[in-house]
Amino acid sequence: MGSNEPPPTPVEPVETHQVQQFWRDLGLPGLFDVHVHFLPENVQRKVYAQFDQAGPKIGRAWPIRYRGSHEERVELLRAFGVRRFSALPYAHKPGVATYLNDWAAGFAHDVPESLWSATFYPEPEAAAYVDKLVRAGVEVFKVHVQVGEFHLDDPALNPVWGILEDAGTPIVIHAGSGPVGNEFTGPEPLRRVLARFPRLAAVIAHMGAPEYAEFLALAETHERVCLDTTMVFTDFFEAEAPYPRELAARLVDLQPKVLLGSDFPTIPYPYAHQLDGVARLELGDDWLRDVCWHNGVRMFGPGR
């Protein structure tokens, strides 16, 4: 741990019990979390530092609750009953995607519950390494345009989107303007990509916060576009980007296309609070069962 890095917050047994009780009360075998991050240690510390300093792409105090080693965090997810989860590396500049992808392949090999995750960046070699990864069996990609500062419809990505559309491999896309928007965020670039690649399997991170209505409409009109719940409906998000209650009823019709996400470990509240947030919508236990387990299994399979 770095000298200026806050110590891990102790996880009390009651916190683990709350998470377990949630999925047990629904009669589920556990949770399927499509939005979890594991990164190489050197990269992880730089990410933590951005949040600790409330850097320009964070914009507010964001105390990270879950620190510790990779092994400790994997064991904590197992204790919670998160049976499947992603790793979601994301390239923030040219030339780093291959390094992140090589590390993530090793992580997926060592952690059987983890989805084999990868990333890409608009660079000349992107199509070649994405094609190789898809053929090898990568299960999910992640891109983060707010951090990477690139346009989703960058011409360099056209062959990548074509490969992914044909393969049906899901891509978790942080395209919403939260927490701090820039010229690359918002629904329009993804809308342009989907006009050319309408069967792309896009999972819109954070339900597109704060442009919830626009991204919801994309999920309603495109067969393979889904939403993840990451940090939405929590007190932390509701304070600055509340989910419009008039949109909640439309999430019932999208029941097969909403997936549980958390952003673990980079969250400033207990993991159970995300579960409480989706439950407070009062959309029914069947909706919760699909969101918290069945939709993930349908998209990615039950695991190795």
Q: For 132-177, what is each residue's pLDDT tens digit?
A: 999 999 999 999 999 999 999 999 999 999 999 999 999 999 999 9
Domain range for residue 242? Answer: 22-300
* pLDDT category of residue 4 using cuts at 50, 70 and 90: low
Please, which residues have CB within 8 angstroms of residue 19's CB and are 6 or more apart in sequence?
31, 80, 81, 271, 272, 275
Residue 281 lies in a domain: yes
Kindly list the distances between the CA atom of residue 96 and the CA atoms of 37, 56, 77, in Å, as whole numbers in the listed order: 16, 21, 27
The answer to whether 67 touches 103, Cβ cutoff 8 Å, is no
We report the CATH number of the domain holding residue 241 as: 3.20.20.140
Alpha-carbon distance of 239 to 232, in angstroms, equals 11
Residue 14 lies in a domain: no
What average pLDDT does the segment 92-120 reach?
98
Residue 165 lies in a domain: yes
Residue 232 lies in a domain: yes
Residue 16 lies in a domain: no
Residue 303 has pLDDT above 90, yes or no: no
The residue count for the chain: 304
What is the DSSP track for 267-302? -SS-HHHHHHHHHTT---HHHHHIIIIIHHHHHH-S
Looking at every residue in the chain, the average pLDDT score rounds to 95
Kindly list the distances between the CA atom of residue 138 and the CA atoms of 35, 84, 119, 224, 239, in Å, as whole numbers in the listed order: 16, 15, 10, 18, 36
What pTM, to 2 d.p., does this model score?
0.95
What average pLDDT does the segment 82-86 reach?
98
pLDDT of residue 5: 66
* pLDDT category of residue 3 using cuts at 50, 70 and 90: very low
What average pLDDT does the segment 240-269 reach?
96
